[in-house]
Amino acid sequence: MPSFDIVSKTEMAEVDNALNNIRREIETRYDFKGSNCSIDRAEQAITIHADDDLKLKQMHELLATHLTRRKGDAGVLDYQSPEISAGQSVRQVVIVREGIDKDLAKKLVKEIKGSKVKVQVAIQGDELRVTGKKRDDLQATIAFCKGLKQELPLQYVNFRD
C-alpha cells in the first residue's frame, strides 16, 4: 500500500551556517560597532545576548533572514520571553522546534479525516504516517495539508508505492 510520512525536521547544520553568517554580519555592521551582542547555540536552544531591546529586535530580523537564506523556515523558531541581565542588556532563548507535538498531530489527523479523502493516518512518535490504496489519494492529501495554515513547517517524505 502506498504511504508517506509528514514530519517537521530542521537541518541543524544549516542553522549553524546561518548563525555563523549572523556573527560575521554583527562584526561588520555599523550599528553593531562597539556593542556587546552575540548569538550562540547549544543543542536545540539558541541564546541571543543584546545590549538593549532595539538590538534584540535587529537580531531577531537577522536570525529570520539568514535562516530563510539557508533554506530554513523561520516558523521553527520559538521565542521565549526575554530576560534582563546586567544593566540594560537583554538575553533571550530561542528554541528550534523539531517534530510534530501531540496537539498538532491530533489536529492534522482530524483535518485529514474531515477532508473525506480515503486515507488512513497514524501518529508515530513525532511524525504522521499516511497510507492509502491509491497514489492520487496520497497526492491529494499532501495538497490538502499544504493548504492548511500551520505555524510549524511540514515536510512530506518517504513516499512509497
53-107: per-residue pLDDT in tens?
888 898 899 989 999 888 888 888 888 988 887 778 899 999 988 888 888 888 8
Q: What is the pLDDT of residue 20?
A: 92
Mean pLDDT, range 6-12, rounded to an integer: 87
- What is the pLDDT confidence band of residue 134, given thresholds at 50, 70 and 90? confident
Fold of 12-96: Alpha-Beta Plaits (3.30.70)
- From the list 87, 86, 82, 128, the residue with the least C-alpha distance to 105 is 128
In angstroms, the CA 79 to CA 150 distance is 17
Fold: same for 3-8+99-160 and 12-96:
yes
In degrees and rounded to multiples of 5, residue 53 shows phi and psi of -65, -35
Q: Hey, which bits of the chain come out as E strands?
A: 3-7, 38-42, 45-50, 77-79, 83-84, 90-96, 119-124, 127-132, 155-160
Q: What is the pLDDT of residue 159?
A: 82
Mean pLDDT, range 103-114, rounded to an integer: 88
pLDDT digit string (tens) for 26-47? 888 888 888 888 899 888 899 9
- What is the pLDDT confidence band of residue 135, given thresholds at 50, 70 and 90? confident
Q: Is the Cα dihedral 105, 10, 141, 161 positive or negative?
A: negative
Q: What is the pLDDT of residue 153?
A: 85
| Domain map (residue ranges) of the chain | 3-8+99-160, 12-96
How many Å from the N-terminal Cα to the C-terminal Cα in the chain? 6
CATH number of 3-8+99-160: 3.30.70.860
What's the predicted TM-score (pTM) here? 0.77
